[in-house]
Amino acid sequence: MYSAKENRYENTQLRHAGDSGLVLPPVSLGLWRHFSDQDPFADRREVILAAFDRGMFHFDVADHYGTPYGASERLLGRILASDLKPYRDEIVVSTKVGYEMHPGAFGTGTSRKAIAQDINASLRRLQTDYVDVYYAHRFDDQTPLHETVRALDDVVRSGKALYIGISNYDNAQTKEAVKLFRELGTPLVLSQMSYNMFNRSVETTGLLDTLRQSGVGMVAYGPLSEGLLSDRYLDGIPEDFPIHPTNRGTFKNGRDAVVTKLQQLNSIAHDRNQTLSQMALAWLLRDKVVASVIIGTTSVAHLDDNLKASEHLDFTDAELQAIAVILD
């Protein structure tokens, strides 16, 4: 019988999701890869409970995660209904709608019908009455944005979600969504985007500034660029490295160029008494608009490594300048 560590929040800092009252831990756990039906349940349970014991109270999934689709939500649901049941009020569960779930016109996208069906299916798999954050996982260009916004607003009004997020919306789409949600009074509090040292498009497109001005927080997904930004690849990157589509630009000058950058960044991290992973996460969290970074891991040792990032979030101007030169 699991009982959560009493001192679980001892080292947890809280960060606001934009201007809202929703707070998140600096480092959150995502269950996209390797939290599926074919993965060893006992090992994954251990990681999830280790995270909660360390004050990571935010778990991120999506309807579409896992094989078959829905498997990651089901896995988390099993734990929410058992070990974590007494702690549901302490936990932030976020899930998403928008990518393919089943054949037919309403198995994908964010039409009113797709959303109305999907939230119920997610709640069933997660074995919970509500999710804390419900995201539109992608911009659906086949559905008018005002329809998606109205449908998500209804999800909040029905009590099935407390807050709304958007994910993979570009700057212009975000501005329009903010306006429409505001008109309805819907609590749009987060934008979840691919953001890491090697992929700074949210900075260059102006999205980060839009979020700051709109009082919406950012959640950075893939903050270690699928693990590249760790000490694992300092001697080379395998050809079959599973880079996310949003990070493909990372290899534009070849893998050896990336390895050189990793070694240079690692040297700065070393001087800061951090591992490369810790520095990569701290570098994102130095900006308050980043409410949390969502890491993916199957290892308690990596969890511990990453959690230490928040112990040292400050960077000197000289460090930032040296990092900028490497990343250029």
Enumerate binding residues for ligand NAP (CB under 6 A). 30-33, 60, 137, 167-168, 192, 221-227, 230, 232, 244, 277, 294-299, 302, 305-306
Whichever of 143 and 230 has its CB closer to ligand NAP, that residue is 230
Closest distance of CB 246 from ligand NAP, Å: 7
Please give the Cα distance from 22 to 46 (Å, whole number).
26
Which residues are 294's β-sheet partners?
28, 221
Closest distance of CB 176 from ligand NAP, Å: 19
Question: Going by C-beta distance under 8 Å and a sequence separation of 6 or more, which residues neighbour residue 119?
Answer: 97, 131, 134, 155, 160, 161
Closest distance of CB 232 from ligand NAP, Å: 5
- The tokens describing 301, both together, are 């040792």
Closest distance of CB 280 from ligand NAP, Å: 9
Whichever of 78 and 302 has its CB closer to ligand NAP, that residue is 302
Whichever of 128 and 306 has its CB closer to ligand NAP, that residue is 306
Which residues are 193's β-sheet partners?
220
Closest distance of CB 226 from ligand NAP, Å: 4
**Contact yes or no for 117/66 (Cβ under 8 A):** no
DSSP states of 134-197 as a string?
Answer: EEE-S--TTS-HHHHHHHHHHHHHTTSEEEEEEES--HHHHHHHHHHHHHHT--EEEEEEE-BT
Whichever of 157 and 270 has its CB closer to ligand NAP, that residue is 270
Phi and psi for 192 in degrees, rounded to 5? -105, 120
Whichever of 128 and 192 has its CB closer to ligand NAP, that residue is 192
